[in-house]
Structure 1
Amino acid sequence: MSDEIIARALADAGDTDVVEVGRGVTSRAGGIIAEALARQPDGRLAPVLIVADQRTWEAAGRTVAESLTAAGVPLTDPLLFPALPIPYASLDNAHTIAETLRSLDRSGHAEVVPVAVGSGTMNDLTKLASHELGRRYAVVGTAASMDGYTGAGAPISDKGVKVTMNCTAPKAVVFDLDVAAAAPAAMTASGYGDLAAKIPGGADWILADAAGAEAMNDHVWHLVQSGVHQALAHPADLAAGIPEAYQGLVEGLILSGLAMQVYGGTRPASGAEHYFSHIWELGHLGADQQVPPSHGFKVAIGTVAMLAFYEKFLDRDITTLDIDGALAKWPEWEAVDANIRATFDGPLADHAVAETHVKYVDRDGLAARLQRIIDCWPQTLPRLRAQLVPARELADKLATAGAPSRPEDIGLTAAKVKDTFPKAMYYRSRYTVLDVAREAGWFDELVEEVFAPGGLWS
């Protein structure tokens, strides 16, 4: 993956202007941040507040502080969260950062520039606090653990509910490959799982384009997909902590976030595989564990499940579909509403009903959609085959990288994953292969085939 692709992404991204990835770049972070954020119109340098936890401070924060001082940037005392219990991306913690910045402003400092040093939680908390105050921030990444560094949003928990809040992405990102390679192995494995999700997620966009549900943006597609397969090709080197092996993984995760900025949504980076993760998180999977499964770990299992589903889907020839037969089985909206409410409990049912209603079509609409898919199939099928990889192959790579490859690895069973398929189909309005299968009348049969004796997880 070349610097040229990142440069193209930055040219079109709405928020992020600077990305520096390489070995030893933490020692240059001060100068990068000074020029990107701290330099004022009159030439003076605004003070910086480093936000970190005790572990990320030791991993990179101290070096960042020394680099900022060497660059002539004034520093306030850092805001350090404890290492344990593990800091949580909660609204309360974001408010703590925002109030610290306000307090520093009131004490006579010029408007302080926040700099997050860490991975998902530190970045999301600083992102939300900065957005709340209407100021820009920078992030120095410490682990290749997720694709949210450059994302224009922050998943935040408030009163037991997790929502993604719209926020301004960082203006500058600094990512040292030596620091990433030294991060806990589980964090790298989580990022590997998150990047692997781009494979079925990209296939879902190919199908949505063929169905006329959401048109493909070729530029954004290329930003995400151009290096994914290569970045996933050497999981053993990542597990061994070889810094050079982290280049593709780090850049792939950063480009996913930049692509979401360019596109103005998450379609380029996720498909149905992510809904498995969301549903399991809402079900408090791992809440009884000291360290619950990460987003990337849950997404890894959702990714393998979706690749297995795609294999069964592509075993059938949709060009031979009896459209009249599919229309005869197609339920009226009232029946779909009732089925969703039987599938979900409580407020989540209302959410799923609203989301599914967006993509529901009547029989005339379904006839047109299925015919369009069939007409496009000679072009669509080769694209899908080039995009996808066998589920077993990816499962082996995930295991080599240290990521989950079986439901039991994150405290689930194959039966629980099977039960999640209809929920994932209804969970969001985004059109995926699960919707194509349902509209063709194949959904239940394909799910049964995935979990039949002799299958992937039997």
Structure 2
Amino acid sequence: MSDLIERALRSADDTDVVVMGDGVLGETGRVFTRLFDGARGIVVADGNTWAVAGEQVTASLRDAGVELAEPYVFPASPSVYAEYENVELLRELLGGQDVRAVVIGSGTLNDLVKKASDELGRRYMVVCTAASMDGYAAFGASVSVDGFKTTLTCRAPQGLIVDLPTLAEAPRRCTATGVGDLIEKIPAGADWILADELGIEPVDQGSWDLAQGRLRAAISDPQGLVDRNPGSFTALAEGLVLSGLSMQKYRISSRPASGAGHLFSHVWEMEHLGMEQDPPLTHGFKVGLGTLATLSLWQNVVDMDVEAIDTEAAVAAWRSREDTEAYVRSWFTGNMVEPAVKQTLDKYLTADQLRERIELIKAKWPAITARARAQLIPPEQAESILKGVGAFYHPQQVGLDRRRFKDTYLRCRMIRSRYTLPDTLFELGVLTEQVDRLFAPDGFWGRRPWTE
């Protein structure tokens, strides 16, 4: 385990122990007794994660003298969904017993147990079974509430067991989705730089260092991950754990690890894209596509001449608050409408505020683009990494046609008040124009084949 993780734990508010290495499933009982001395335990899993580690984890807990309640195992299929109804189910189950949960695997299971335990005022621990996402150590849980995907406040696990051989033996698609989730930290960092330069959300250097410190190493060897090389999995696992710890440290939101690329994924998740598949389309696969979407947009605009933008024309074309609400409503249906309206209006600017913002963007653009260039990688490089690990790299691979994918560029900024590159381009009045460039014959998406 890296020194960076050890240092991060010394300042972490929630997580006290991370045990990462070979053959560490047997450490579960020791860690449980250290954290929850004298408490009863309950193992929560699904059919898949139980098959991977259920017997070993249970044996380790019993060997350590932990009294165990009957385990709760969700079915292997259909996959459990990260919706609040399942939080309530687990809260009722755990609340009826004086137990501390040990959840085995998956980001969804971890988020559900994380939120249910927090609502009961209890701590829990997690046994990671795949390098599939960065939420294991994260503060907050990504859960759908009344159909709208949101990050709910809750404490991170008090302990993590990260058995590297278990991660390496997970299905290849699990590793690919972890790379998809992690690689988005690159454009997410550029989005944070943008918000920092405009005085909207300053970069927290400690959180930044955790999210970005091992990022390039973690995604640098896609073939090694395919070949299940131990060193490659160590780097990926450390990158994912550190990303989670960065959110735990920042606490305000998932900003250190989530930018516009994640917003693409959240739109599609709220529309249940790929949920009918078996297994369902994963979060990381969608985030990987969101990463390509935002990297290609950044690639276009770092050379944009913002001084040529007519400020007064942009202000004259700006919608009123009432018209903005109507505009948002025209883009969404069902349970997505009201939350999208609220998130959009939370960052609404008056005409006078917009004028000031545009002038600030113009003044700060040289600094923004200089820092962004140092942070970003070409979308073609990200595409190659995603291809290399078996992740998706074209919208039609996940059932998105050109129109729906293109529209997501315009819609994603409306589902979160978080400020990202699409917000800047929208304020400048050039978002649609810049997106059109991507789909022109010589644009990033225009150069890729589409089956109509």
TM-score exceeds 0.5: yes
Displacement of 1:203: 0.8
Change (3 A) 1:288 1:54: closer
From 368, 383, 387, the equivalent of 1:399 is 387
Letter in 2 for 1:15: D
From 27, 36, 39, the equivalent of 1:38 is 36
> What percent of counterpart residues are identical?
44
Give the structure 2 partner of residue 433 of structure 1.
421
From 47, 54, 57, the equivalent of 1:61 is 54
- CA–CA distance in 2 between the matches of 1:253 and 1:387? 18
Change (3 A) 1:241 1:137: same
Letter in 2 for 1:47: R
Unaligned runs of 5+ in 2: 447-452
Letter in 2 for 1:439: E
Unaligned runs of 5+ in 1: 40-44, 106-110
The answer to whether the 8 Å contact 1:13/1:259 transfers is no
- CA–CA distance in 1 between the matches of 2:153 and 2:159? 18
Give the structure 1 partner of residue 179 of structure 2.
192
Give the structure 2 partner of residue 22 of structure 1.
21
The answer to whether the 8 Å contact 2:143/2:151 transfers is yes
Give the structure 2 partner of residue 237 of structure 1.
224
The answer to whether the 8 Å contact 2:79/2:280 transfers is no
Displacement of 1:187: 1.1
Give the structure 1 partner of residue 364 of structure 2.
376
Displacement of 1:144: 1.0
Secondary structure of 2:326's match? Answer: helix
Displacement of 1:294: 0.8
Give the structure 2 partner of residue 3 of structure 1.
2
- CA–CA distance in 2 between the matches of 1:337 and 1:46? 51
Point out the more displaced range, 130-139 or 72-81: 72-81
Give the structure 2 partner of residue 215 of structure 1.
202
- CA–CA distance in 2 between the matches of 1:258 and 1:207? 22
From 205, 210, 213, the equivalent of 2:192 is 205
Point out the more displaced range, 10-19 or 156-165: 156-165
Letter in 2 for 1:341: R
Please list, as runs of the form range in 1=range in 2, the aligned pairs for 1:313-392 lying within 5 A after superposition: 313-392=301-380
Aligned residues: 445
- CA–CA distance in 2 between the matches of 1:428 and 1:193? 21
From 137, 145, 153, the equivalent of 2:140 is 153
Secondary structure of 1:280's match? Answer: helix
Give the structure 2 partner of residue 254 of structure 1.
241
- CA–CA distance in 2 between the matches of 1:97 and 1:440? 46
- CA–CA distance in 2 between the matches of 1:449 and 1:162? 30
Letter in 1 for 2:391: A
Say yes or no: does 1:89 pair with 2:82. yes
Displacement of 1:115: 0.5
Secondary structure of 2:119's match? Answer: helix
Letter in 1 for 2:353: G
Letter in 1 for 2:13: G
Say yes or no: does 1:455 pair with 2:443. yes
Displacement of 1:427: 1.9
Point out the more displaced range, 288-297 or 362-371: 362-371
Secondary structure of 1:29's match? Answer: helix
Give the structure 1 partner of residue 68 of structure 2.
75
Letter in 2 for 1:85: P
Deviations 1:419-450 (A, max 9, x none): 11111122211111111111222111100001
Change (3 A) 1:282 1:408: same
Deviations 1:274-319 (A, max 9, x none): 1111111222212432322111111111110111111111131334
Secondary structure of 1:24's match? Answer: coil
Letter in 1 for 2:386: L
TM-score normalised according to structure 2 size: 0.92
Displacement of 1:23: 1.9
Note the aligned Cα RMSD (angstroms).
2.1
Secondary structure of 2:45's match? Answer: strand
Letter in 1 for 2:227: A
- CA–CA distance in 1 between the matches of 2:39 and 2:417? 44
- CA–CA distance in 1 between the matches of 2:83 and 2:367? 45
From 28, 31, 48, the equivalent of 2:41 is 48
Displacement of 1:91: 4.1
The answer to whether the 8 Å contact 2:149/2:266 transfers is no
Say yes or no: does 1:141 pair with 2:128. yes
Say yes or no: does 1:279 pair with 2:272. no
Secondary structure of 2:126's match? Answer: strand
Displacement of 1:253: 1.7
The answer to whether the 8 Å contact 1:16/1:172 transfers is yes
Give the structure 1 partner of residue 258 of structure 2.
270
Displacement of 1:131: 1.9
The answer to whether the 8 Å contact 1:94/1:126 transfers is yes
Point out the more displaced range, 349-358 or 175-184: 349-358
Displacement of 1:159: 6.0
- CA–CA distance in 2 between the matches of 1:399 and 1:266? 26
TM-score normalised according to structure 1 size: 0.91
Secondary structure of 1:424's match? Answer: helix
- CA–CA distance in 1 between the matches of 2:190 and 2:145? 33
Secondary structure of 1:236's match? Answer: helix
- CA–CA distance in 2 between the matches of 1:69 and 1:31? 10
Deviations 1:329-384 (A, max 9, x none): 33333332332222223443332222222222223322322332333333322210
Letter in 2 for 1:18: V
Change (3 A) 1:149 1:163: same
